[in-house]
Amino acid sequence: MSSKFDPILPLNLILPHPNPNPNSLHLPAGPPAAAKLVITGGNSLSGHVPISGSKNSALAILAATLCCRGDSKLSNVPQLIDTTTMAAVLSSLGAEIEFSGNEVVVRTDRVGSVEPDAGLVGRIRGGFFVVGPLLARFGEAAVGLPGGCDIGARPVDIYVRGLRELGAVVELRDNKLVARAANGRGLVGGRFRLDYPSVGATQTLMMAACLAEGTTLLSNVAGEPEIADLASFLTSAGARVGGVGTDKICIHGTRQLYGTEHTIMPDRIEAGTFMLAAAITRSRISLSPVCPELLSVLIDKLSGAGCTISHVRDELELSAIPRRSGEGLRGFDVRTLPYPGFPTDLQPQTMALLSTCDGLSIVEESVFENRLTHVKELQKFGAKIYTEGSTAFVHRKGRGEKLRGARVDAADLRGGMSLVLAGLAAEGVTQVSRMCNIDRGYESLETKLRSLGADVKRLEKSQSILRS
């Protein structure tokens, strides 16, 4: 997986950047960047928590609206920093976006640019996905390199090779990926094997292939459920997509896609996080809507640890209340892998739980090369975790010993959330700074935690209750 690009002929075919129309973007206000969360730990959780729409699915489908003429209406879109940033990316192209609660209408008929605001694209990984739809619909794109959490190099070489296979000429210029359809008309179908089942590359190539001439066969594709949600949106817009759920996707290109209505799937990572919150606090909660089959690897691990998990239709209940007093949860080993393996997006939160479980647990991060930065923050709670490369060894604390509240920093989204979970279980007060990173992926976090009985309070900039 390298990030090298072959320099090729320069390209001067970019449409002018439109003046953003202030009336075209009705976004909900985001939370202040410097907010902190203060958690008084030790409360047991109980009750029911509603699960929001999937962040990752919403980001890809918002990008996919650019493939469609007319209006697309999306429901169950979570109100998050990342989704509003993605909406701003579309708006910077000339799309009109209207948010109303969790509904978003995207009108793409006035899109007049193929160069989204690079500053916005640089904030989220999903911003880069627009390269596929722009290239497919307008024959060209100039998209800044992606941002997102600082969890590894996150190159885009697979996107580049795949787009070239669909007939695009691609080069890297001024920190932007600049691409155009080589034949001057549009993309053409082709065969491409991804050398790693990258989620974003699979989604980007699917969107590009839907409007390419002829048939595209993508192999070794990602099988994450969010891919199926994207395929369902594209199909409803008129695309012909087959093989979803297998490691090969076949797409028969079509001239046009039309805006459609779609409901974003529930967020399996948010659901998994709340299951882990119940486990780490040795509580019982229920959550819905969830698709338990999409969480089977976590359900198996938590059941093996001693939790009782049941589900009826889309409602899941987890109890980690000890059956006998003094009984602990058993630790387990985790190796993150592409779906259906253990999700890397649940690794940090799982590590927080494991720091409270009996025995030695070994956690191996195999998807991203730098996703253990939360370890040093978890150690501030007294967690006994040691790392060797991408592997963490998590030891049980002394019998009866609990995590202690700490002042910690949320350097990234899921790592930050692992600190919130540790704070819920810890004795005393925890202060998690840089909540802006956690707000990227958890809708109404404090409201949901408070409704379960957690003692959490948000402090805005400059307020502090703990000494440095």
Query: What's 346's DSSP letter?
Result: G
63 binds ligand UD1 (CB under 6 A): no
Q: Where are the alpha helices (DSSP H) in 390-444?
A: 413-425, 435-438
Residue 465 beta carbon to ligand UD1: minimum distance, rounded to whole angstroms: 32
Return the structure tokens found at 203. Answer: 């989604």
Distance CA 93, CA 95 (A): 6
Looking at beta carbons only, is 105 or 337 nearer to ligand UD1? 337
Phi then psi for 118, rounded to 5 degrees?
-65, -30
Find the catalytic residue in 149, 210, 250, 307.
Answer: 149
Least spacing, CB of residue 294 vs ligand UD1, in Å = 13
Residues of span 177-196 touching ligand UD1 by CB under 6 A: 196
Selected range binding ligand UD1 among 38-46, 84-92, 152-160, 168-176, rule: CB under 6 A: 152-160
Per CB under 6 A, does 201 bind ligand UD1?
yes
- Spell out the residues 6+ positions from residue 10 whose beta carbon is closer than 8 angstroms to its own: 171, 173
Q: Binding ligand UD1 by CB under 6 A: which of 157, 213, 317, 455? A: 157
- 159 touches ligand UD1 (CB under 6 A): yes
Give 402's contacts (C-beta < 8 A, 6+ positions apart).
42, 356, 425, 426, 427
Q: Is residue 341 part of the contact set for ligand UD1 (CB under 6 A)?
A: no
How many residues make contact with ligand UD1 (CB under 6 A)?
24
Candidates 344, 390, 418, 431; binder of ligand UD1 (CB under 6 A) is: 344
> What is the three-class DSSP state of 69?
strand
Interface pick for ligand UD1 out of 170, 367, 421, 454 (rule CB under 6 A): 367
149 is catalytic: yes
- Segment near ligand UD1 (CB under 6 A); pick from 156-164, 245-253, 311-319, 357-365: 156-164
- 122 makes contact with ligand UD1 (CB under 6 A): no
CA proximity to 209, closest of 239, 179, 248: 239
The amino acid present at 42, given as its one-letter code, is G
Minimum CB–partner distance for residue 449 and ligand UD1 (Å): 21
Are 15 and 406 a contacting pair, CB within 8 Å? no
**CA-to-CA distance for 164 and 185, rounded, in angstroms?**
15
Alpha helices in 40-145 (DSSP H): 55-64, 81-92, 118-121, 131-138
- For the annotated catalytic residues, the residue numbers are 149
Task: Write out the residues near ligand UD1 by the rule CB under 6 A.
Answer: 1, 56, 59, 125-126, 152-159, 196, 198-201, 222, 224, 344-345, 367-368
